Chains A and B, each alone.
Chain A
Amino acid sequence: MLNLPRWQAIVIIAITVLSGLFALPNLLPNSVLDVLPHWYSQSRIGLGLDLRGGAHFLLEADLRSVLNERLANLSDSVRAELRKQQVPFKEVTVDPGRALVVTLRDEAQRAKAVEAIRAVDPALAVSGAGDTIRIAYSDQELFRRKKEVIDQSIEILRRRVDETGTLEPTITRQGDERILLQVPGIKDTTDLKRKINQTAKLTFHLVNEDVAAAGANIPATLPPTTFLVPTREGLQELRRSNPKAWEDIQSANPRLSPEQVCRRYQPQCLPVLKRVVVGGEDLDDSKATFEQQQGGRPIISFTFNSAGGRAFCAATRANIGKRLAIQLDGEIISAPVVQSAICGGSGIITGSFTPQQTQEQALLLRSGALPATLTIIQESTVGADLGADAIRAGTVAAIVGTVLVALVMFVAYGPVFGGFANLAMLVNLLMVFAGMSILGASLTLPGMAGLVLTVGMAVDSNVLIYERVREEKALGRSAFSSIATGYERAMSAIIDANLTTLIAAVLLFGFGSGPIRGFATTLSLGLLTSMFSSTIFTRMLLSIWVRWRRPTELLI
């Protein structure tokens, strides 16, 4: 038991050193970190909002209204199609939140009616009997649409909340219909809500091809009807090549107009006519799909409401061959060439896109308006000084707790055994820090409590071992044999004791949210790593010590 093969010792030491390396960036002062390579110094444990200060919103999307709206739109299409196919019907009603119910005048027409409905949208699930037909979206389709609404909302929130790119908000989906929005360093939620409530400005403009044909990216003079707008690629290129300029643009107050950005920083720009062809409020939907013919290239399809459709039809008819620029918040996200007059309210954008690009562009096109009402169902704000107080209290408690536990172990088991146990406790703390760095977990105030608790529980394994060693020694075993048997016999109690607490910690992680998860994280990690540090690691130390000192009498 105590004759440790060399390779085992090497593995144990390697694990310990690696943990130390992973944990180190969290313990070094900033002055040292500045000298170290960025990838290393940046792998630190983040602080939770309760320690760092900031605002936390849990938002619920009103998906039921979205579905009802879609059903209402669908009922219009179904009515129109049934009339076109000359199927007489009594009524088409919406069963809120569920389905559409069609009541036919003549049962015999059922097959024809079903065929007409399928023509509207082949993905619809059709059921019912006799003269009533129930039309619903399949579960799969509903799930897809829900996901689409949430993804779109998250994207829009990100654009609105973090227009300057400096706030580092965390925006994540929670369950089926919720979004968690966390913004560090913010205390005034009115301002944050103002940002959530703002609308992105999406507009369609014709490109002034006469100016563009002249060739200069930034022409010295422009006709009064025309202004310059930077393209999205141009701005991204500028951000890469000249981060300072990008920062200046973002922090300028008042905000720079698109033309000012073009003139000052000279990214790739397009001259567009000031007149707005259609506004984003008239755009109903856009999605990434594939072309039906010609090899199925990835394309973006979009739909306008009736007013938008008419305006779009007139503008495209008169400008075939010219480019139509789509401007979102002062940048041109796309400028496709008008191939033909686009009437009937929907059209497509073709180009050499990858499927991922079409997804992105479709999402950007939809970024004008939030698809569903987002209600705040939970909110918390923590001032920075409140967070600082919490950090101070947690740190003091952790240090006092650790020192006291170390003292008890030193007194009870002497400098050698107590020392090894305390060394193991420190290794355990390092491993928890390393584990959190690797997992990207953040430290919360309850998480600090979990750390303190871990310190108290981690030495328990050593207590179990040492007490057993004392018993074996009292039975008259030799020093070597007492230690070996002590480790062996204490093992089952150690595993049981740690696993039962681990069960509670893991279930707490599954159930809990926010700061409580931080507690579950540090406690579970601490219990897991203590099984290494308190048993395997101390056994190695003791085996080296026994071989070195060859003690005849154990001081334990």
Chain B
Amino acid sequence: MWKPVHLFAFKKKFDFLGQRKTALILSTLINVVSILGVIFVGLNFGIDFKGGIAIQARAKQGVAQLDALRSIVGGLGVGEVSLQEFGEASTVLIRIQRQDGGPQCVAGAQRVLQKRAGAGWQAKPGAAGTGDVELTAPAALDGAGWRDAVSRVGLTIIERQLPRGTTNTAKIDMTPEQQAEWCQQVVIKQVEDAIGANYEIRGTESVGPKVGDELMVSGIWAVLATMGAIVVYVWFRYEWQFGVGALIAMLHDVISTIGVFVLLQLDFSLTALAAVLTIAGYSINDTVVIFDRVRENMRRYKKLGLVELLNISINETLSRTLMTSGTVFVAVGALVLFGGPVLYSFSVAMLWGVIVGTYSSVWIACAALVYLGLRADHLRPNDEEKAEKAKT
């Protein structure tokens, strides 16, 4: 049997808070750069938040020809297109900006119909101010024929929208908003038609304008609500100086994580948001471990100066801080290396979150306590002290 190895058993006498000015400048710099980055460079929002289309395709033979694909898909007239290799050289992720409807989209629908239903098909926009589409078939069709044709361009309709009897023209009435949602489907079909000969479509995803806008708003609310709830919890459990310290450290971690997304231009999707929220929770996780000891020591050494007391507390808890971060780091590291391309943004963000969360617990959260002027008599009496007071 082997003996345990004290992994972080160095002499624990670091003057952490002596470096607080350097840390403060460094952190301020990182955060300011992150915020400026968000404003001037911008987050690389995924289609969850922006709306749009993402298509994963794999070359049937050899590697994916990104340049050729870019010119093919770019030539469809569907707006901004971005391509990236996804996981392996044969696989490509094609992202296309969200579609808002209009004559361009109806023209695309006509091409899809001609390719999939027959050369004689035509699609024209209906009256101005509506999202109506007028379809013309090469031959007269009955209800079943019309339903089959519109299914081919990805449209879902109800009986009321179809012509009665057998005709060769149909006006499908839609609102402009409904048309815009449908146009995401049209683009998927267009891309399938354009690259289907050489590429296998492995998966598609489309988010219409409505859902995109909603997720953006509710995503912002989720971040605010999570941070609020955590602060309330810490406030409830600790004195207000601790709450403020923890909040500042958490903001620091969240903002700098978003900065990492800007810097590396990682895909900011719903999974990324999950990473940001988890980091907010984990940031506090680390901080309270130190705070817990700070509070304990303040009760024990009532005469000690705050900076010295904080240094003692940080040093005492250093090995457990490093061990807890270490285990999470190892687990997240496995995700980065083996988790695959879908989880990549999430894993990288989490990895950064673990590092920065540990750093901020020491230099940001504890330094904040110094600047907030925490004193022993700010502490609420604990149960033992309450019992003592009751005796006297």
Q: Is the interface of B mostly helix, strand, loop or mixed?
A: helix
B4 touches A412 (CB 8 A): yes
Q: Is the CB of B225 within 8 A of A507?
A: yes
Interface string of B289-327 (1 = CB under 8 A from A): 100110000000000000000000000110110011011
B205 CB-CB contact with A under 8 Å: yes
1/0 per position for B193-234, CB-CB distance to A under 8 A? Answer: 000000001111111101100000011011001100110011
Contact B274 A503, beta carbon cutoff 8 Å: no
CA distance A39 to B370 in the complex (A): 61
Contact indicator A369/B158 (Cβ below 8 Å): yes
Are A382 and B203 within 8 A (Cβ)? yes
Complex Cα distance, B282 from A502, in Å, reads: 9
- Using Cβ atoms and an 8 Å threshold, which residues of chain B touch A446? 271, 274, 343, 346
Q: Are A414 and B211 in contact (CB under 8 A)?
A: no
Does B77 count as interface, using CB distance less than 8 angstroms? no
Is the CB of B30 closer than 8 A to any CB of chain A? no
Contact status B147-A198, CB under 8 Å: yes
Is A383's beta carbon under 8 Å from chain B? yes
Give bound CA distance, A408 to B4, whole Å. 10
User: A496 to B237, alpha carbons, bound, how many Å?
Assistant: 8
Docked complex Cα distance between A523 and B274 (Å): 11
Q: Is the CB of A503 within 8 A of B226?
A: yes
Bound CA span A408–B7, Å: 9
Interface stretch of the complex, out of A187-195, A324-332, A338-346:
A187-195
* A375-B181, A446-B346 known; A189+B154 contact, CB < 8 A: yes
A457 proximal to B (CB < 8 A): yes
A373 within 8 A of B: yes
CB–CB A512/B4 < 8 A? no
Question: Which residues of B sit under 8 angstroms from A511, Cβ to Cβ?
Answer: 218-219, 221-222, 225
Q: Does B374 contact A (CB under 8 A)?
A: no
Q: Are B335 and A449 in contact (CB under 8 A)?
A: yes
In the complex, whether A155 has a CB less than 8 A from a CB of chain B is: no
> Are the CB atoms of A452 and B331 closer together than 8 Å?
yes
B319 touches A467 (CB 8 A): yes
In the complex, B389 has a CB within 8 A of chain A:
no
Residues of B within 8 A of A412 (CB): 4-7, 323
Pair B158/A373 contact, Cβ less than 8 Å: yes
Q: How far is the CB of B136 from chain A (nearest CB, A)?
A: 19
Residue B285 at the chain A interface, CB threshold 8 Å: yes
Among A191, A281, A376, A555, the one with the most B-chain Cβ atoms within 10 Å of its Cβ is: A376
Q: Which one, A54-62, A113-121, A135-143, A245-253, is touching chain B? A: A54-62
CA distance A328 to B158 in the complex (A): 18
The closest CB in chain A to the CB of B227 belongs to: A504
* Contact across chains for A389 and B340 when beta carbons are under 8 A apart: yes
Contact (Cβ within 8 A) A516 B271: yes
Interface residues of A in 173-201 (CB under 8 A from B): 189-191, 193-194, 196-199
In the complex, the answer to whether B320 meets A467 with C-beta atoms within 8 Å is yes
How far apart are the CA atoms of A493 and B234 in the complex, in Å? 12
State the CA gap A405–B331 with chains docked (Å).
Answer: 7
Tally A residues with Cβ within 8 Å of B.
94
**CA of A58 to CA of B335, assembled, Å:** 30
- Select one of A190, A379, A463 contacting B205, CB under 8 A: A379
> What are the residues of chain B within 8 A of A189 when measuring CB–CB?
154
Instruction: Given A390-B340, A496-B237, A497-B285, check contact A401 B202 (CB 8 Å).
Output: no
Taken together as a complex, chains A and B put the C-alpha atoms of A523 and B340 apart, in Å, by: 19
Residues of A255-305 at the interface with B, using a CB-CB cut-off of 8 Å, are: 281
Q: List A114-155 residues whose CB lies under 8 Å from chain B.
A: none
| Chain A, 509-540, CB within 8 A of any chain B CB | 511-516, 519-520, 523
Q: What 0/1 pattern do residues 340 to 364 of B give for CB contact below 8 A with A?
A: 1011001100100000000000000
Question: Which of A194, A377, A514 contacts B147, CB < 8 Å?
Answer: A194
- Which residues of chain A from 378 to 429 have any CB-CB distance to chain B below 8 Å in the complex? 378-383, 385-386, 389-390, 393-394, 396-398, 400-402, 404-405, 408-409, 411-415, 417-418
Please report the C-alpha to C-alpha distance between residue A59 and residue B350 in the assembled complex, in whole angstroms: 33
Report whether B202 and A500 are in contact in the complex, using a CB–CB cutoff of 8 Å: no
- The A-contacting residues of B in range 162-211, CB under 8 angstroms, are 174-175, 178, 181-182, 184-185, 188, 201-208, 210-211
Query: Is A471 in contact with chain B by the CB < 8 A criterion?
Result: yes
Query: In the complex the two chains form, is A376's CB within 8 Å of B182's CB?
Result: yes
Residues of B within 8 A of A211 (CB): none
Does B334 sit at the interface, judged by CB under 8 A?
yes
In chain A, what residue has the closest Cβ to B329? Answer: A456
Q: Tell me how far the C-beta of A261 lies from the nearest C-beta in chain B, rounded to whole angstroms.
A: 22
| B272 vs chain A, min Cβ distance (A) | 10
Q: Is A556 part of the binding interface, using a Cβ–Cβ cutoff of 8 Å?
A: yes
A374 vs B160: C-alpha distance in the bound complex, in angstroms?
12
B332 touches A452 (CB 8 A): yes
Q: Is there a chain B Cβ closer than 8 Å to A81's Cβ?
A: no
The answer to whether A507 and B229 touch across the interface, beta carbons within 8 angstroms, is yes
Set of chain A residues within 8 Å of B188, measured between Cβ atoms: 379
When distances are taken between beta carbons in the complex, the residues of chain B under 8 Å from A449 are: 271, 335, 339, 343, 346-347
**Which one of B159, B202, B326 contacts A369 once the chains associate, using CB atoms below 8 Å?**
B159
A513→B350 CA distance, assembly (Å): 20
> In whole angstroms, what is the CA distance A58 to B185 when docked?
13
At the interface, yes or no: B22 with Cβ under 8 Å from chain A? no
- Is A370 among interface residues, defined by CB-CB distance under 8 A? yes
Q: A379-B204, A383-B202 are in contact. Are A408 and B270 (CB under 8 A)?
A: no
Q: Which of A58, A415, A453 has the most CB of B within 10 A?
A: A453
Q: CB of B330 within 8 A of chain A?
A: yes
Is B127 part of the contact surface with A, judged by Cβ < 8 Å? no
Chain A nearest Cβ from B359, distance in angstroms: 17
Docked Cα-Cα span, A394 to B305, in Å, equals 50
Please give, as numbers and ranges, the residues of chain A lying within 8 Å of B178 by CB-CB distance.
62, 373, 375
Q: B284, A500: Cβ atoms under 8 Å?
A: yes
> Which residues of A lie under 8 Å from residue B143 when comparing CB positions?
199
* B342 & A390 in contact (Cβ 8 Å cutoff): yes
Residue of A nearest to B326 (CB): A408
Residues of B within 8 A of A463 (CB): 320, 323-324, 327
Q: Separation in Å of the A372 CB from the closest CB of chain B? A: 7
Contact call A381/B203, Cβ cutoff below 8 A? yes
Are B156 and A504 within 8 A (Cβ)? no
Report yes or no: A393 in contact with B340, Cβ–Cβ below 8 A.
yes
Residues on A with beta carbons closer than 8 Å to the beta carbon of B289: 464, 493, 496-497
B161 beta carbon closer than 8 Å to chain A: yes
For A465, give the chain B residue with the smallest CB separation. B320
Instruction: Determine whether A455 belongs to the interface, using a CB cutoff of 8 Å to chain B.
Output: yes
22 A-B pairs whose Cβ atoms sit less than 8 Å apart in the complex: A193-B154, A197-B157, A376-B156, A377-B210, A382-B202, A390-B340, A393-B339, A393-B342, A408-B327, A415-B2, A456-B327, A463-B327, A464-B320, A496-B288, A500-B234, A501-B285, A503-B230, A504-B230, A508-B226, A513-B270, A516-B270, A519-B274
Interface residue ranges, A against B (CB under 8 Å):
50, 58-60, 62, 189-191, 193-194, 196-199, 281, 369-383, 385-386, 389-390, 393-394, 396-398, 400-402, 404-405, 408-409, 411-415, 417-418, 445-446, 449, 452-453, 455-457, 459-460, 463-464, 467-468, 470-471, 492-493, 496-505, 507-508, 511-516, 519-520, 523, 555-556
Beyond the given A404-B330, A502-B281, A507-B277, please list 9 additional residue pairs across the A-B interface where CB-CB is below 8 A.
A197-B147, A370-B159, A408-B326, A452-B335, A453-B278, A456-B330, A457-B327, A498-B285, A504-B278
